[in-house]
């Protein structure tokens, strides 16, 4: 005598254990690990888990809370906790986060504001400032600064280098991008050579 049947697969079973084994082994049965709902397609199961449970599809892993899932997504999958976008690297995520920050760095040559010194310097180097300043002028001012020997490079093909780790750069904006990243320990404190340059630059733009 048949104990139960599976209408999805058109099969009959003579014991509960046989029915359970069929559901576990059949590709037409995809059980949710959190609520035991059964789906015919794996894709439907994945969508269910993401919508109804705190689940990471990439890792096939459930979490105890939405906060735990968010923390996992940030640490393991480079997700921006503010807007939910994903990035291909931690470095790309870090620079994306700047778009959510207040623009507190003003350009003395025009009325534009920027999030970082790097962005402000790049704006000047690219010649987009209404003051008419361009890369050549920024580079000239960088060498005129009284502490330029601390960031001027002696390496062929490069004008600048990091005062702390001596990584060379062709543009002063690239040096500031490096210094303001987690890859560098150089500080932009009050008396640092690069901070002195910024004050020098602002007086002459």
> With the C-alpha atoms ordered 22, 27, 31, 37, is the resulting torsion angle positive or negative?
negative
Give the model's pLDDT for residue 2: 54
Task: Tell me which architecture the domain covering 1-53 has in CATH.
Answer: 2-Layer Sandwich (3.30)
Closest among 110, 131, 123, 104 to 171, alpha carbons compared: 123
CB 134 within 8 A of CB 124: yes
Where the chain has pLDDT below 70, the residues are 1-2
Q: How far is CA 204 from CA 120, 125, 191, in A?
A: 15, 14, 19
- Spell out the domain ranges in the chain: 1-53, 105-204
CB 13 within 8 A of CB 3: yes
Give the model's pLDDT for residue 179: 94
Instruction: Give the C-alpha separation, 120 to 141, whole Å.
Output: 15
Q: What is the DSSP string of 124-156?
A: HHTT-STT---HHHHHHHHHHSTTGGGTB--ST
- Token pair of 77 as six digits: 């999958």
Give the model's pLDDT for residue 1: 46
Instruction: Give the C-alpha separation, 134 to 171, whole Å.
Output: 12
CB 187 within 8 A of CB 174: no
Q: Is 25 helix (H, G, I), strand (E, B) or coil?
A: helix
Give the model's pLDDT for residue 133: 96
Give the model's pLDDT for residue 18: 86
Give the model's pLDDT for residue 87: 93
End-to-end Cα, the chain, rounded Å: 93
């Amino acid at each position: 005598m048949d104990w139960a049947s599976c209408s999805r697969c058109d099969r009959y079973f003579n014991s509960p254990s046989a029915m359970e084994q069929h559901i576990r082994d059949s590709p037409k049965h995809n059980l949710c690990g959190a609520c035991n709902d059964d789906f015919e397609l794996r894709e439907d199961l994945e969508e269910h888990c993401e919508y109804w449970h705190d689940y990471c599809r990439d890792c096939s892993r459930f979490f105890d809370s939405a906060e735990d899932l968010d923390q996992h997504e940030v640490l393991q999958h480079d997700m921006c906790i503010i807007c939910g976008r994903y990035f291909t690297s931690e470095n790309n995520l870090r620079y994306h986060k700047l778009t959510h920050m207040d623009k507190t760095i003003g350009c003395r040559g025009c009325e534009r504001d920027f999030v970082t010194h790097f962005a402000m310097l790049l704006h000047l180097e690219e010649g987009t400032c209404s003051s008419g300043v361009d890369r050549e002028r920024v580079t000239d001012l960088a060498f005129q600064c009284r502490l330029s020997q601390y960031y001027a490079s002696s390496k062929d093909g490069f004008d600048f280098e990091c005062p702390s780790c001596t990584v060379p750069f062709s543009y002063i904006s690239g040096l500031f991008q490096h210094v303001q990243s987690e890859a560098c320990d150089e500080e932009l404190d009050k008396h640092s050579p690069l901070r002195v340059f910024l004050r020098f630059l602002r007086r002459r733009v």
